[in-house]
Amino acid sequence: MDATSRFHGPTRPLRVFQFIGTYDRVHFRVARRRGVLRIGLVMLQGARHVHMAALERASAESGIDIEVHELRKASDLEAAELHAIVMPGGESTTMRLTGNDPVSSLLPAVFEWIRADSARPVLGTCAGAILLSDPQDGGAKMVDAAIDRNAFGTQTNSFQTTLEATSLQREFPGVFIRAPRFTQTGPEGEVAAMLGDEVVGVKTGNRLALTFHPELSSDVGFHRWLIETASALTAEA
Ligand code: GLN
């Protein structure tokens, strides 16, 4: 049986998306402008530039000014004084390796930033969701769920379908690429997205883990959620 056949709604084979490709605009601005939200993008490996494009569109839609800070090493994060973080998909094993490399040490710094306060807005997609739910660094999970890697099968079992983004209260285009599956949610794990009767998005505080790739769809709702949540928090402060 095909891994997707148990879900409701039509599924389509995965296609290459319009946003994949080079994206060479400079987002990092050294001169810090007042009132601008600083969003950190974990640049370890995988789908990073499409997140930049999605964040830009979300910024334009919401009218909230942002700077995207590319995070490659721990000192990038320390320097940036971030309001939110995006952890893209990719290959979690590679991301753990490169992120724990003593030269980069990015992953421990990112985890420390996230764990400091559960209100800090974080969006983790696919492998990013794996790292949030299963950090494997001896510390606490950042999202209260258990997750199983590659649980939909191999690359050929990647698919697109419509899912229910419960946290956005609407349907959402779900792009699943060698996606993991949540096997359990804990008491702090709020359901944020469902595919049929399966949980595909879990939120703990303002940390959102999605097993799919919202950045590869035309809907920037989850990126807007990140920006708008961060903006509301800075307004409160
Ligand atoms: N299969 C990858 C992993 O296990 C996740 C795939 C993705 O991020 N698209 O890390």
128 CB within 6 A, ligand 1: no
- 50 Cβ below 6 A of ligand 1: no
Whether ligand 1 lies within 6 angstroms of the CB of 45 is answered as no
Which atom of ligand 1 is closest in space to residue 127's alpha carbon? 8
Q: List the chain pLDDT tens, one digit each, 237 residues.
A: 444 444 444 445 444 343 433 443 334 444 445 679 999 999 998 778 899 999 999 999 999 999 999 999 999 998 999 999 999 999 999 999 999 999 999 999 999 999 999 999 999 999 999 999 999 999 999 999 999 999 988 777 889 999 999 999 999 999 999 999 999 999 999 999 999 999 999 999 999 999 999 999 999 999 999 999 999 999 887
Strand partners, 171: 164
Per the CB < 8 A criterion, the answer to whether 212 and 222 are in contact is no
Q: Is 89 in the pocket of ligand 1 (CB under 6 A)?
A: yes
Q: Which of 121, 128, 112, 123 shows the shortest CA–CA distance to 45?
A: 128
Q: Please name the residues in contact with 169: beta carbons below 8 A apart, sequence gap of 6 or more.
A: none
* Domain 36-236 is found in CATH 3.40.50.880: yes
206: CA distance to ligand 1 center in Å?
A: 22
User: Is 213 among the residues known to form the active site?
Assistant: yes
Q: Which of 133, 177, 181, 200 to mutate to test the pocket of ligand 1 (most atoms within 8 A of CB)?
A: 177
Q: pTM to 2 decimals? A: 0.88
SS3 78: helix
Instruction: Evaluate: CB of 92 within 6 angstroms of ligand 1.
Output: yes
- The ranges assigned to domains in the chain are 36-236
Kindly give the distance from the C-alpha atom of residue 120 to the centroid of ligand 1, in angstroms, as a whole number. Answer: 24
Catalytic one of 51, 69, 213, 223: 213
Those residues whose C-beta lies under 8 Å from the C-beta of residue 32, and which sit 6 or more positions away, are: 38, 67
